[in-house]
Chains A and B, each alone.
Chain A
Amino acid sequence: MNSLYALAPLSIIVLASIIILLLEVFLKKENKNYLGYISVFFLTACFIFCFMSWGKDYSYFNGSLLLDNFALFFFMILTIGTLLIILMSLNYISLMDANHGEFFALLLLALSGMFIMISSTDFLVIFLGLEVLSISSYALAGLKKKDEQSSEASVKYFLLGSFASAFLVFGLAFLFGAFKTTDILGIIDGFNKPTELGLLAIFGLGMVIISFAFKIAFVPFHMWTPDVYQGSPTPVTAFFSVGPKAVGFVVLIRILYPYWHSLFDSNVLFTILWIVSALTMIFGNLIALRQTNVKRILAYSSIAHAGYILVGILAMDNASCVFYLTVYLFMNIGAFTAITAMTKKGKEYVELEDYAGAGFNHPWIGAAFAVFLFSLAGFPPLGGFLAKFYVFAAAVKEGLISLVVIGILASLVSVYYYLRIVVFMYMHRSAGKLDIQQENPALLIVLFLCLYGVLQLGIFPGNILVFIRDAVGSLPF
């Protein structure tokens, strides 16, 4: 249905970020928390709007902006994710000397970039959204202006990220050369018809996939991840680990799914993605074993999780991928919230030794962190287990037995480094170094909400699965 309503979620978010920017320069107050509350208000409004327009299929700009259920579902979970990240960072950014109102504005702008990427049906517009997302991300990574690691993260992310964007444009040029269109449906039509320019088009598609593989952090393109995750402020790291990853997978599903069979008969792309998935699971988990920095451990774990989700894509089961991304959002934001809590003025506790005895000194945070780590490792009553189960079950049904064996072995390896943090928290004597200044109700609310999400998705996933089936059913093919 062609309607201006299609622009509403995007406009709400952009409006919020502009209001925040103007308030930031006109009302210079010491306590910037009110900017956070304003963004929470607008995010809630956006969430309610997305919920109301479920199933209405609003579109605008001749259909190049399409709010189908698939897009709306991701709008909603990313809005929730951003809301949680803003709540958890309220106290953190003032402790870390990163208390600029621009933090909230940049987060919202990055969210609007992700909205554009999710809801667009034209590759050039997706590129536009990618740039909005990336440029905000580069600034967010360097938010701790006086901190060397933060600046390093920013520059590293900027240089490599622009390189990846160049790959997208280059691939797009090849696709346009082959099919004379940048519209996703047009490109799909082109792939389904045999042409003499097929090789050119596959080359272009490969380039496009590389650029999203960078955002998602698949293994040959993962080099930036640990450094950027370590250097960025912790809430921003949480954002990087769920937001761009989810959006990358959305675009992959949109472009790959419809002509899966015609492409995979040629077997080239399938083999390449198979190898990438196996490498991502193996390398991510093996390198994480050697890390002693908790943020780096979670960085490598996020690489490994990308590999598991790719198994779902190879099994052609979109619902399991979407479910995995939803669970991953809650458990990863929860884990990073616990790390955010381990902070005092100007100092973050991110080494494993710092966590010795934390489980007894800070029982709530420690217990919640342990639950999130169990969920990431994939223990049964929690969301992480069901997510992995759905993905691997779909893969077994498609006959990808060897990939599933690799995945299960890799996730067995991952249990070691997740539980290592738990062991440090509960079985090592406290060195008394950890004194944290985070008696913050907002942070505890985030911990509680993520805990609720992980348990709900692990024990009673039925309601959400109905939503996800509905969302995946709205894809055009």
Chain B
Amino acid sequence: MTEIFLVFLIYGLLGVIMVLVNKILGPKKTNPVKLKPFECGSPYLQDRIYPVPIKYYLVAFLFLLFDVEVVYFFPWALVFRELGTAGVVFMSVYVALLALGFVYAWKKGAFQWEG
């Protein structure tokens, strides 16, 4: 029991010490560009807010949706015979729900690149 907390204590302290050592011993050569907050390639101060293409996020979302769907198929396929009819029903409900979500996204215009 105490060992577990000792492990947390030691590794927690180690993390703090390493950061502190870096702060104390590390060389401090800076320049203005290096001190700027990292902002994914765009300048961090702009005179106004430029629109960011949100389409990439939509594509990523939909990709994730169907990627995760496939992950659930593997364990299902392994025990397919034991599950019998119930397994087919449950998986069809699951796929149907995702398909309806897909139809919703489609009709909402998630795949229209222009406009």
Contacts and interface: CB of A to CB of B under 8 A. Distances in A.
Majority secondary structure, B binding face = helix
A338 to B, nearest CB: 35
A21 B107 CA distance: 10
Interface string A179-203: 0000000000000000011011000
Interface string A24-52: 01100000000000000000000000000
Contacts of B107: 25-26
Nearest to B103: A22
B104 interface: yes
Contact of B1 (A14, A18, A26, A196): A196
Interface string A199-213: 110000000000000
A21 B100 contact: yes
B30 to A, nearest CB: 31
A18 B4 contact: no
Contacts of B17: none
Contacts of A199: 1
Nearest to B106: A25
Given A197-B1, A199-B1, A25 B108 contact: yes
Among A18, A196, A200, the most chain B Cβ lie within 10 Å of the Cβ of: A18
A25 B4 CA distance: 54
Interface in B1-24: 1, 4
A197 B1 CA distance: 7
Contacts of B4: 200
B92 to A, nearest CB: 14
Contacts of B97: 14, 18
A22 B1 contact: no
B91 to A, nearest CB: 15
A22 B100 CA distance: 8
B108 A200 contact: no
Contacts of B104: 21-22, 25
A197 B5 CA distance: 12
Interface string A342-375: 0000000000000000000000000000000000
Interface in A41-98: none
A200 B1 contact: yes
Contacts of A200: 1, 4
B88 to A, nearest CB: 15
Majority secondary structure, A binding face = helix
A423 to B, nearest CB: 44
Interface in B85-105: 97, 100, 103-104
A26 B100 CA distance: 12
Contacts of A26: 107
Among A25, A26, A196, A197, the most chain B Cβ lie within 10 Å of the Cβ of: A25
B54 to A, nearest CB: 13
Nearest to B107: A25
Contacts of A18: 97, 100
B2 to A, nearest CB: 9
A172 B18 CA distance: 30
Contacts of B108: 25
Interface string A370-390: 000000000000000000000
A200 B7 CA distance: 13
A25 B97 CA distance: 16
A18 B104 CA distance: 9
A290 B97 CA distance: 48
A200 B1 CA distance: 8
A373 B103 CA distance: 46
Nearest to B4: A200
A349 to B, nearest CB: 31
Contacts of A25: 103-104, 107-108
A139 to B, nearest CB: 13
A25 B106 CA distance: 9
Nearest to A203: B5
Contacts of A196: 1
A174 to B, nearest CB: 10
Nearest to B93: A11
Nearest to A177: B4
A197 B4 CA distance: 10
A35 to B, nearest CB: 14
Interface string B62-73: 000000000000
Contacts of B103: 22, 25
Nearest to B105: A25
A197 B107 CA distance: 54
Nearest to B2: A199
B95 to A, nearest CB: 14
Nearest to A174: B4
Nearest to B86: A4
Contacts of B100: 18, 21-22
Given A22-B100, A25-B107, 4 more contacts: A18-B100, A25-B103, A197-B1, A200-B1
Interface of A: 14, 18, 21-22, 25-26, 196-197, 199-200
18 contacts: A14-B97, A18-B97, A18-B100, A21-B100, A21-B104, A22-B100, A22-B103, A22-B104, A25-B103, A25-B104, A25-B107, A25-B108, A26-B107, A196-B1, A197-B1, A199-B1, A200-B1, A200-B4
